[in-house]
Chains A and B, each alone.
Chain A
């Protein structure tokens, strides 16, 4: 790892000031993505801005028809949160299948969503529930936030502060995990929301995407059988040592069926 300086501000305003002052500075939350990358010298930040001391970024609140999760909320906290478990059990279930217990003890929802790894779990729930990403300067609809592999609408120095999830009527998630890394090979998140049915695929492509054919089928008939005959095209899906595009396309249908069954 290259060496760097380290700062630990205690407010969002101070963190933003530090991050805006130098384009090569990087935020660190749980470090479960950033530190493995730094160890492989994939990055050379001048200094790290540790967000973990910023109290305003922590915690889960349920207000009216939405659940707001602070950016620094760790996966283990989402998994065990009474608010999340009662309002959006599929989100608690998703948090529980991220990585392993040590990763969940440190990793945060803000770090995961800001990073937008194609093999990450949370982006599919954020898009699938039609959530709003809140930053230090604006509110971004999930449909505009994810912009392909490791790319989001966040500007340099902009901090993700919270995610607001509207409470769905029903939601479910199923994931085929890579047996070694536990990241997503293919995942599907399904939700019946006020704005209609949403079906989102993660892991399979360069970024999360909506599967509109399945959305239409589930709007007409909410059951695993409704998606069983729908085939995902393999064009544009990821092919790598873990699986071919054709294999991933096949898994989309399998995971969609399981996700609907999970939603009940």
Chain B
């Protein structure tokens, strides 16, 4: 059986997999990191989004063998060791950007890549377009968009902390 060696949330692992094992199966079933969800089998919902070498990907549409030697970041690896949330997580909490929470890990991971890819800042419309690959069946997206708009200012150093949810 093929072996893959990868770094997940800063920890090195070597895991035996099958050729067909998906990255999301490696994360959930072998490493027991169940924060990464599976919401479809058509590569469309984005519940499974993680970062590979700093970019967002659908972990259900990537083989474990394809990430041999890569750095993987999942929702479990975002908060600091002392439990301080990442600004994007904090913003999702502050702006009530989730209801059932199923889409949330993927939304947060996508949103962080979006903010990194737009150092100039995104308009509301750009945020909505940037979330094309993430479906949410609960929130109607409004609060997700607000949370990302607030988090990008913190991530770009434009404000030091999130305003308490005004709206």
Contact = CB atoms under 8 A, between A and B. Distances in A.
Interface of A: 1-6, 8, 28, 31-32, 35-36, 38-40, 47-48, 50, 52, 76, 99-103, 105-106, 180-182
A103 B63 contact: no
9 contacts: A31-B66, A32-B61, A38-B20, A50-B66, A100-B133, A102-B56, A102-B110, A103-B133, A106-B61
A4 B61 contact: no
A50 B67 CA distance: 11
A105 B57 contact: yes
B84 interface: no
Interface band, chain B? 20 to 34
A38 B61 CA distance: 10
Nearest to A34: B61
Contacts of A36: 42-43, 61
B51 to A, nearest CB: 10
Interface in B43-86: 43-44, 46, 49, 55-58, 61-63, 65-66
A182 B132 contact: yes
Contacts of A76: 55
A99 B20 CA distance: 24
Contacts of B133: 99-103
Contacts of B58: 102-103, 106
B39 interface: no
A215 to B, nearest CB: 32
Contacts of A99: 132-133
Contact of B19 (A6, A102, A106, A180): A6
